[in-house]
Structure 1
Amino acid sequence: MAEIKKENIKHIARLSYLHLSEKELELMQNDLNDILDKFQKLSTIDTENTLPTGHPSDVFSEMREDKESESLSKDEVLQNAPNKNESFIIVKPVLD
């Protein structure tokens, strides 16, 4: 049976810039090994005669009818903008 070692968790934590205590490492190791055990049990199930499904039941999304509503004018939008230049709203950069 495969097992996730504490050294692997430390390595992943370091790559993720996570600082885990020894207790957290042990808890993480136990949790991940439990998950791994469950997946190994799932892999033993015989699915030879099982058809693939996208959803366990025949559920279809019900579409709602679109409702038209009045929107704000350009002047109203710009009036609410904290920072603007002529007819443009200025926002802080998201990416460096």
Structure 2
Amino acid sequence: MSAISREDVVHLSRLAHIEMTEAELDKMAGELAVIVDSIASVSEAAGPEVPATSHPIPLTNVMREDVVGPTLTNEQALMNAPDSADSRFKVPAILDGE
């Protein structure tokens, strides 16, 4: 079994300022013990000969040529804008005049 005891759960609940009933303390001690045991079994499987991975499948970055394609004119981009000024979108100010 694990090194998580009921007294450990009582201590942790006091540190976290979480009130727990006697039944909750017993249940949490059992649940935390299962979690710690599960982590320990995974730690046993990962030895120095097993490389650390962040993904089960190797990732590759897909790149393409940076080619300019068809673009909108300034007038087309602003055509349905609710408000514009000086060939730009006009939006409400969100910062003080800094």
CA distance in 2 between partners of 1:56 and 1:27 (Å): 34
- Structure 1: 4+ residue segments shifted above 4 A: none
Structure 1 residue 24 and structure 2 residue 43: aligned? no
Q: Structure 1: 5+ residue runs without aligned partners?
A: 63-67, 79-86, 89-96
TM-score, L = length of structure 2: 0.56
Q: Structure 2: 5+ residue runs without aligned partners?
A: 63-76, 82-88
1:1-12 maps to which residues of 2 (within 5 A)?
1-12=1-12
Bigger-Rg structure (1/2): 2
CA distance in 1 between partners of 2:18 and 2:27 (Å): 15
TM-score, L = length of structure 1: 0.57
Give the fraction of aligned pairs with identical amino acids, expressed as a percent.
25
Write the deviation string for residues 29-62 of structure 1: whole angstroms up to 9, x where unpaired.
0110001111221232253332222222134688
User: Which of 1 and 2 has higher RCO (CA within 8 Å, sep 6+)?
Assistant: 2
